[in-house]
Structure 1
Amino acid sequence: MAGSGSLGTAVSLRLEAAELPRPVIGFVMSAYFAGLTLGSLLAYRVVLRVGHIRAFTAFASVVSAVTLLYPLLPPPLAWVPLRLAEGFCMAGIFICVESWLNDHAGPASRGRILAAYMICLYLGQASGQVLLALDWSNDGMRVFLLVSVLISVAVLPVALTRMPPPALPEVASFPARRLWVASPLGVVGTVASGLVLGSVYALGPVFARDAAGFEAQGAALFMGVLITGGVLLQWPLGRLSDAFDRRRVIVATLALLVVAALLVASAAEGGGVALLGSAAFFGGVAFALYPLCAAHTNDHLARDERVAASGGLVLAYSSGATAGPLLTSAVMMALGGWGLFLFAALVGLLGLVFAAWRLFARAPVPAERQGAFQPLPGTTPTAAPLDPRTSLPATGRGA
């Protein structure tokens, strides 16, 4: 996670340093999420064919090779297939890791294992930004070399393990119409989360350089603080959503997202502590939206539907994350770097209006019948069986 977390920031900064138009940067960066979407749908076939250990080794090897190709090939067109391959193989890595965790998670430990996985995921991405604080001499080659080393070393424990490989959990398809009927707010909120987070992952470093005037090291610090902030508010907001109408907590989260995005945009010129504090606040709110919407969706599904429905939510999130950089880059082209967080505020505002309407459109699920909140990654559907709520009975329909 440290290697892959720093790679996206490094690529974004290299594209910005090449003075490419913002829509071109957005297009190249969105290819990663397109690959992640395809990988979440197709990479499991590689795992089924050759097994977890060989598949993990192959996927990691491709990502390591792609990392070394970035500084050797001229951007931007040559980088699009690299980003696509990187996203596809990262989805394959997530499938291997998450299915391995599933195999070792019992009914009493699934929640703890999923929580630990989430912490490792986000803190790994945040700590990876430290690599970008290194000297960017030699045209930035050193950063890509270190990322490749980290990814290659990660293969060793898996390649040398004597543990038997796990069985790949079956995740059935779930009709999109059924998912929409079950929880329109869950789907819209998930897409909004993808639009915002996909844009920030792809273009946050560009914002830090363009609007805030940071050097590469400062941009890495900005991204690290933002991602670390993503861990802070998930549990408090989640616990509130367990005690009250979850839709009201989603409304409050979207309202806070609008406020946080505007705070980051307004603090850009001053930089310093104000900007970093606003970034941490924004990360805390933005990263909480997806698991809240997933929990709300699960409140309206039968127990045997929840794992399959997670695939639909991941696809909705990935679709938003793919479209986000394309749309945001056009806004940044017109308004400047701070257009990134104006776009995030607009997405939050539109989601807020929709969520407020849903409060009056359907009756709430009683608090005592809501499933418990559980933080979730928007990686692949393979993580869904780790969610303790998949063993809980259904609590309601159609809100």
Structure 2
Amino acid sequence: MFASIHPVRSLLIAIFVMMAGSGFLSTLIGLRLERAGSGTMVIGLVATAYFGGLVLGALRAGGIVRRVGHIRAYAAFVALLSASTLTYALFQQPLLWGALRFIDGLCVAGVFICVESWLNDRAEPETRGTILAFYMVALYSGQALGQLLLRSGNTAPQIPFELASILISLAIIPVCLTRSHAPALEEAASLPLRRLFEASPLGVVGAGITGLLLGAFYGLAAIYARRLGLSLADTATFMMVVILGGVALQWPLGRLSDRYDRRRVIVGGFAMTLAVSAGLALQPLGIVLLALGFLFGGLSFALYPLSVAHANDRLLPSERVTASGQLVLLYSAGAAAGPIAGAAAMTIAGAGGLFLFIALAAAAMLAFGLWRLAATDAVPTEAQQDFQILPRTTPTAALLDPAFPDDDDAAAGAAPQQQVTP
């Protein structure tokens, strides 16, 4: 198993270090803005700027990579992200911070495109699943452990930004010193959104709503925790527990969806997310807060890959890579809207308004899912594709899914699966 990741170990180390440095910035920036007296709507807009940059970067950063190559592009994206991170420590103006967060989103998307296309090029069909699994571990473990850096600001407020910049800068070294040859980045094919929605309305709407939920969470959960009276250390612990819950429960829910009608698992996932979010909206404390946070992460993080898997069940093999790329863009678009909507809910209903909004969004998706269950037939269990945990990063990540056919197979006309009326 470890032999299969040996050719890409430098890329995995790089993404772990970068996520340890950048993964807690959304939490830190929200907390600093609130402490400076910024309103909830301002904090939501700054969070939205990051996801807006992520969407634009996912669409445009590939052109930069094609022009200058993976290593140069990667180094440029990481260097700009490091410089942006240090700028937060020099100036605390919400408008400037919104612009910096937009730049951060562009840079992070560029880094993901470089790393994910490189991993895909190095992956063989028999090692693709292992490489994807290790990539997900590096991504989420770096993000979870990075939350602990929030505690470093007790002595001097600029230290967390400086530590983040140091880690982000160090993430350049494994890639710049790698002996692995960088691949060429190909142009991505397109799939009309109308065709995707016709094939899988539940998958399309599920991806967008999941982005709405998690965008609101990432942008404002730290503000929610602080307004409950949690210390900075406890806020960091809460954020870390949610992320670790997301890692822990995705696989069991995915395996469940392989054995039964995947639509019912998706609908059940949104129903349980509704229940857990309602519990969090009541603003519990102590072990109850952590337990509900763990469950929220486990359920909500699984909804995106479940939606992708359901969409793939209803598409031709040659359409699945492109469809997954479209779905991650829909997720990102939802994530860009989430912080603004969540901030509005918190302005009206207080700290619990964040999870009240999330519960209402989950309820709307639950109603839509129940309608789809009644309106359509299920894909036979034996015809469903195997569930695969996928990152919600850029369309390039879809290429790492071992369930997708190689380009040669798709060009040769892979046998279509049984089609079910959407």
TM-score for the superposition, normalised by structure 1: 0.97
Helix, strand or coil at the partner of 1:165: coil
Q: Deviations over 1:257-309 (max 9, x none)?
A: 0111122222x24x211101110010000000000000000001111111111
Helix, strand or coil at the partner of 1:108: coil
Give, as a single letter, the amino acid of the residue that structure 1 aligns with 2:354: L
Of 175, 178, 192, which residue of structure 2 is paired with 1:161?
178
Structure 1 residue 133: Cα displacement: 1.7
Of 35, 38, 60, which residue of structure 1 is paired with 2:56?
38
Of 358, 364, 372, which residue of structure 1 is paired with 2:378?
364
**1:56 alignment counterpart:** 74
- Report % sequence identity: 53
In structure 2, distance between residues paired with 1:398 and 1:226: 37
Aligned counterparts, 1:143-162, within 5 A:
143-162=160-179
In structure 1, distance between residues paired with 2:273 and 2:186: 35
Are residue 256 (structure 1) and residue 272 (structure 2) matched? Answer: yes
CA contact (8 A) 2:40 2:346 kept: yes
**2:120 alignment counterpart:** 102
CA contact (8 A) 1:176 1:312 kept: yes
Are residue 242 (structure 1) and residue 258 (structure 2) matched? Answer: yes
Structure 1 residue 116: Cα displacement: 1.6
**2:40 alignment counterpart:** 22
Helix, strand or coil at the partner of 1:389: coil
Q: Deviations over 1:178-210 (max 9, x none)?
A: 111111000111011100111111101000001
CA contact (8 A) 1:171 1:307 kept: no
In structure 2, distance between residues paired with 1:92 and 1:374: 23
CA contact (8 A) 1:183 1:398 kept: no
In structure 2, distance between residues paired with 1:280 and 1:319: 25
**1:201 alignment counterpart:** 218
Of 318, 322, 326, which residue of structure 2 is paired with 1:304?
318
Are residue 8 (structure 1) and residue 29 (structure 2) matched? Answer: no
In structure 2, distance between residues paired with 1:398 and 1:22: 44
Q: Deviations over 1:340-371 (max 9, x none)?
A: 11111111111000001001111110000000
Are residue 136 (structure 1) and residue 150 (structure 2) matched? Answer: no
Give, as a single letter, the amino acid of the residue that structure 1 aligns with 2:151: A
In structure 2, distance between residues paired with 1:233 and 1:78: 38
Of 198, 205, 209, which residue of structure 2 is paired with 1:192?
209
* Greater CA drift, 101-110 or 317-326: 101-110
In structure 2, distance between residues paired with 1:154 and 1:48: 21
CA contact (8 A) 1:332 1:339 kept: yes
Are residue 284 (structure 1) and residue 298 (structure 2) matched? Answer: yes
Structure 1 residue 394: Cα displacement: 4.0
In structure 2, distance between residues paired with 1:123 and 1:397: 38
In structure 2, distance between residues paired with 1:193 and 1:28: 20
In structure 2, distance between residues paired with 1:233 and 1:49: 40
**1:331 alignment counterpart:** 345
**1:320 alignment counterpart:** 334
Of 348, 352, 359, which residue of structure 1 is paired with 2:366?
352
CA contact (8 A) 1:169 1:382 kept: no
In structure 2, distance between residues paired with 1:287 and 1:84: 23
In structure 1, distance between residues paired with 2:30 and 2:420: 42
CA contact (8 A) 1:136 1:143 kept: no
Give, as a single letter, the amino acid of the residue that structure 1 aligns with 2:197: W
Structure 1 residue 75: Cα displacement: 2.2
CA contact (8 A) 2:377 2:420 kept: no
Structure 1 residue 169: Cα displacement: 4.2
Structure 1 residue 74: Cα displacement: 2.6
Q: Deviations over 1:185-238 (max 9, x none)?
A: 00111011100111111101000001x211222211111111111011111111
CA contact (8 A) 1:301 1:397 kept: no
In structure 1, distance between residues paired with 2:106 and 2:303: 24
Aligned length: 395
**1:123 alignment counterpart:** 141
In structure 2, distance between residues paired with 1:75 and 1:136: 21
Are residue 112 (structure 1) and residue 126 (structure 2) matched? Answer: no
Helix, strand or coil at the partner of 2:125: coil
In structure 2, distance between residues paired with 1:323 and 1:289: 18
In structure 2, distance between residues paired with 1:170 and 1:386: 16
In structure 2, distance between residues paired with 1:5 and 1:221: 14
In structure 2, distance between residues paired with 1:221 and 1:66: 26
Structure 2 segments unaligned to the other structure (5+ residues): 1-18, 406-413
CA contact (8 A) 2:193 2:326 kept: yes
Give, as a single letter, the amino acid of the residue that structure 1 aligns with 2:372: R
In structure 1, distance between residues paired with 2:402 and 2:79: 33
Structure 1 residue 109: Cα displacement: 1.3
CA contact (8 A) 1:302 1:394 kept: yes
Helix, strand or coil at the partner of 2:171: helix
Are residue 82 (structure 1) and residue 96 (structure 2) matched? Answer: no
Shift in CA distance, 12/398, structure 1 to aligned 2, threshold 3 Å: farther
**2:4 alignment counterpart:** none
Structure 1 segments unaligned to the other structure (5+ residues): none
